[in-house]
A and B are shown apart, each in its own frame.
Chain A
Amino acid sequence: MTAAISLRDVRKTFGDFTALKAVSFDIADNEFFTLLGPSGCGKTTLLRLIAGFEGTTGGTIHLYGQEIEGLPPDRRPVNTVFQNYALFPHMTVQENIAFGLQMLKWPRADIAARVAEMVAMVRLGDFVHRKPAQMSGGQQQRVALARAMAPRPKVLLLDEPLSALDLKLRQEMRSELKRLQRETGITFIFVTHDQEEALSMSDRIAVMSAGEVQQIGRPSEIYEHPANRFVADFIGETNLIDATVEAVEGQIVTCRLPDGETVHALANRAASKGQSGTLSIRPERLTITRDPPPGESLKGVLGASTYLGTDTHYEVRLGPNLSLTARMQNAEDAALRLDEGDPVHVSIVAGAARFLVT
């Protein structure tokens, strides 16, 4: 099956600034694909290259097997939901949604039917005669979505469409978008710098940084098996500790921490004895106990704690050069009431530590 979008060595420079460095990957048909990365990493630039607003500096882009370099935006079966919506201010909701269909010269009756369908889909029935300036951010966002989906594009590009919304609305729209993508079967390329958004909605995520793709994978892959230190750090919270390899046993390495302790961890790729790298352990995969638990554990002193409702964050000082953050669920019974300065043991949930070769 041909990929919906296929990027090969796509590069983009602005003057002497390189915004994208040789990006290559495929996006499958019907996929909810997310580009995730910090501000300025080139997410919007990549979308603009796919939409055709900018030309590539090098490389090729194929859309369902067809090379699209040189095709202007109005000849690409791709629609965009813009970062700031870019709704036509002089047109009503209805006219905005109908615009693309008019350009495609759909018959009048079909346009009316499709607009009605779109309006119902995004639940804007009461607003069809309003202009964009008379609507809230969330309503505008839904108009932008309806306008972009009305012409039945093969691929829909969404550039941080939820960033202007408040938390509650954003969470609602997440499931809404996911539902729309499933129902329509349109390939979504969704841009965000919010990792929670990416993890909760995507089939696959491409984590980008400084114009490069760091890792592509399913949300659980990205979270459980980060490819490098950047990904481990950017997605979720983690403890990152400089470490060196003591011994190698297949995929498992024994690594030495700055203060001399050793920990077993799963290496992200083949490692050899003496190699340096980073140990990554998620706070929620650490357990704090007063008494030494059976198996591997580290001794430390409890530092500051932060109460977060369902969880509490504890800082544990293991030595002069090392402290860890652990996240423990707050239990009903106060059996494990910990206070600052208590001596404690920290154990790592089996198989949860990752060694990232530098």
Chain B
Amino acid sequence: MAAGTGSGRTVSATFRPIRGWLLLPSWAIIGFFMVIPVLLMLVYSFLTKEFRGGVIWEPTLAAYDQFLFDRGLFGDEPPTIEWAYITIFIRSILQATGATLLCLLIGFPTAFFIATRPAHTRAIWLFLITIPYWVNLLIRTVSVRFLIRDNGPLNDFLLALGLVDQPLGLINTNFAVQLGLFYSYLPFMVLPIYAAVERYNFAFSEAASDLYAPKWTILRRIVIPVVKPGIIAGCILVFVPSLGAFLAPDLLGGAKTYMIGSLIEEQFKGNAGNWPFGAAASMILLSMVLVVLLFYARGQSREGA
């Protein structure tokens, strides 16, 4: 053991002068495509809007004020909360949560199924899961719209079977949006869980069964806790893009399902937009995501201890 650690130290010592340089391209890419845009947004969110889109370089809190307060922070009377945008924000969180749960509900058994197939057929199953995703997201979302609209195949089918006597009216509902998000991001749930279940040692399940645990208890007490990192990764990978999504809410939802992604999208589209307001909304969204990730990281480090 000691020898192993020693040689490891020697190698890293040898490479120390070069190591920084080797990482330079990665740092450059992360800096250019992640840090700079975020900083730019942060700066824009504190600037004054120009009418045809764009910004004027005059610092102001107007964008945040507009998002959070109805009677402004800087008026004579005490400020009141602006509920419209906060409502949109909370709705987005609920929608993203719904989509994540839907993905988990379908994705976990799917991943489990694939990971327990004979090794040589797993690649085929994984490929089958990803086939729809070779098609553009916009087209896939539109196709969901066609599938579930009032005179679409789903309703025709249910009507023909006599299961319903009038179309279900799925379109423009929260459920339609969640379905669209679910369809958009399912592989992000399946793949990390698959990776975790594939590494799972089924001798643990046998040991639990040997120690008098019935099937569901094994799933709850052994399998799920052991593959939990995969489940959490999947949930984050679905929740985060769902929270800021705008295609599914635009195409499958209506005014009542308006989400923050659409709100931000509109601020930057065409001439009617308000860049600082869009940037402020983005920063608020980003801080929420960071809070979620922080909780996750804290949970992880506590587990490791």
Contacts of B221 in A (CB 8 A): 99
Question: In angstroms, how far is the closest chain A Cβ from the Cβ of B301?
Answer: 15
Contacts of B208 in A (CB 8 A): 88, 99, 103
Which residues of A96-115 have CB atoms within 8 Å of chain B's CB atoms?
99-100, 103-104
Question: In angstroms, how far is the closest chain B Cβ from the Cβ of A124?
Answer: 18
Is there an interface contact between B211 and A99, defined as CB atoms closer than 8 Å?
yes
Question: In angstroms, how far is the closest chain B Cβ from the Cβ of A325?
Answer: 40
CB<8 Å pairs between A and B, sample of 9: A74-B213, A75-B212, A79-B210, A84-B203, A86-B207, A88-B207, A88-B208, A90-B225, A104-B212
Q: How far is the CA of A52 from the CA of B287 in the complex (A)?
A: 53
Contacts of B214 in A (CB 8 A): 74
Which residues of B181-208 have CB atoms within 8 Å of chain A's CB atoms?
201, 203-204, 206-208
Contact pattern, A 319-340, Cβ under 8 Å of B = 1, otherwise 0: 0000000000000000000000
Is there an interface contact between B204 and A88, defined as CB atoms closer than 8 Å?
yes
Is there an interface contact between B211 and A79, defined as CB atoms closer than 8 Å?
yes
Interface size class of B (residues with CB under 8 A): 10 to 19
A293 contacts partner chain B, Cβ-Cβ < 8 Å: no
Pick the contact of B226: A51, A80, A90, A147 (CB < 8 A).
Answer: A90
Is there an interface contact between B226 and A103, defined as CB atoms closer than 8 Å?
no
Question: In angstroms, how far is the closest chain B Cβ from the Cβ of A259?
Answer: 54
Contact pattern, A 63-90, Cβ under 8 Å of B = 1, otherwise 0: 0000000001111001110101011111
Q: How far is the CA of A84 from the CA of B204 in the complex (A)?
A: 10
Question: In angstroms, how far is the closest chain B Cβ from the Cβ of A24?
Answer: 25
Number of A-B contacts (CB under 8 A): 58
Contacts of B209 in A (CB 8 A): 53, 72-74
Contact pattern, B 98-125, Cβ under 8 Å of A = 1, otherwise 0: 0000000000000000000000000000
Closest to A48 in B: B206
A211 contacts partner chain B, Cβ-Cβ < 8 Å: no
A42 contacts partner chain B, Cβ-Cβ < 8 Å: no
A300 contacts partner chain B, Cβ-Cβ < 8 Å: no
Are A103 and B217 CB-contacts (below 8 A) given A74-B212, A88-B208, A90-B225? yes
B222 contacts partner chain A, Cβ-Cβ < 8 Å: yes
Given contacts A73-B206, A73-B209, 7 further A-B contacts (CB under 8 A): A72-B209, A78-B210, A86-B203, A86-B206, A88-B204, A100-B212, A147-B211
Is there an interface contact between B203 and A100, defined as CB atoms closer than 8 Å?
no
Pick the contact of B222: A72, A84, A88 (CB < 8 A).
Answer: A88
Interface size class of A (residues with CB under 8 A): 20 to 34
Contact pattern, B 217-237, Cβ under 8 Å of A = 1, otherwise 0: 100011001101000000000
Contacts of A104 in B (CB 8 A): 212
Q: How far is the CA of A312 from the CA of B292 in the complex (A)?
A: 72
Is there an interface contact between A103 and B213, defined as CB atoms closer than 8 Å?
yes
Are A74 and B210 CB-contacts (below 8 A) given A86-B204, A103-B217? yes
Closest to B221 in A: A99
Is there an interface contact between B201 and A86, defined as CB atoms closer than 8 Å?
yes
Is there an interface contact between B206 and A89, defined as CB atoms closer than 8 Å?
no
Question: In angstroms, how far is the closest chain A Cβ from the Cβ of B302?
Answer: 13
Is there an interface contact between A100 and B206, defined as CB atoms closer than 8 Å?
no
A151 contacts partner chain B, Cβ-Cβ < 8 Å: yes
Pick the contact of A82: B207, B212, B228 (CB < 8 A).
Answer: B207
Contacts of B217 in A (CB 8 A): 103
Question: In angstroms, how far is the closest chain B Cβ from the Cβ of A58?
Answer: 23
Is there an interface contact between B203 and A82, defined as CB atoms closer than 8 Å?
yes
Contacts of A80 in B (CB 8 A): 206-207, 210
Contacts of A86 in B (CB 8 A): 201, 203-204, 206-207
Q: How far is the CA of A30 from the CA of B233 in the complex (A)?
A: 50
Contacts of B203 in A (CB 8 A): 82, 84, 86
Closest to B203 in A: A86
Contact pattern, A 143-161, Cβ under 8 Å of B = 1, otherwise 0: 0000110010000000000
Q: How far is the CA of A82 from the CA of B228 in the complex (A)?
A: 24
Pick the contact of A51: B204, B210, B222, B228 (CB < 8 A).
Answer: B210
Is there an interface contact between B226 and A89, defined as CB atoms closer than 8 Å?
yes
Closest A-B pairs by Cβ, 4 of them: A100-B211, A86-B203, A103-B212, A86-B207
Q: How far is the CA of A51 from the CA of B205 in the complex (A)?
A: 13
Are A53 and B206 CB-contacts (below 8 A) given A74-B213, A103-B211, A103-B213? yes
Question: In angstroms, how far is the closest chain B Cβ from the Cβ of A95?
Answer: 10
Is there an interface contact between B212 and A151, defined as CB atoms closer than 8 Å?
yes
Question: In angstroms, how far is the closest chain A Cβ from the Cβ of B231?
Answer: 13
Q: How far is the CA of A74 from the CA of B217 in the complex (A)?
A: 11
Give the most central of A75, A82, A88: most B CB within 10 Å.
A88
Contacts of A100 in B (CB 8 A): 211-212
Q: How far is the CA of A104 from the CA of B221 in the complex (A)?
A: 14
Question: In angstroms, how far is the closest chain A Cβ from the Cβ of B207?
Answer: 4
Contacts of A88 in B (CB 8 A): 204, 207-208, 222, 226
Contact pattern, A 9-53, Cβ under 8 Å of B = 1, otherwise 0: 000000000000000000000000000000000000000000101
Q: How far is the CA of A117 from the CA of B199 in the complex (A)?
A: 34
Question: In angstroms, how far is the closest chain B Cβ from the Cβ of A137?
Answer: 13
Closest to B224 in A: A90
Which residues of B29-74 have CB atoms within 8 Å of chain A's CB atoms?
none
Closest to A105 in B: B212
Is there an interface contact between A151 and B211, defined as CB atoms closer than 8 Å?
yes
Q: How far is the CA of A103 from the CA of B217 in the complex (A)?
A: 9
Q: How far is the CA of A73 from the CA of B225 in the complex (A)?
A: 22
Contacts of A82 in B (CB 8 A): 203, 206-207
Contacts of B206 in A (CB 8 A): 53, 73, 80, 82, 86
Give the most central of A75, A78, A86, A100: most B CB within 10 Å.
A86
Contacts of A53 in B (CB 8 A): 206, 209-210
Give the most central of B206, B217, B222: most A CB within 10 Å.
B206
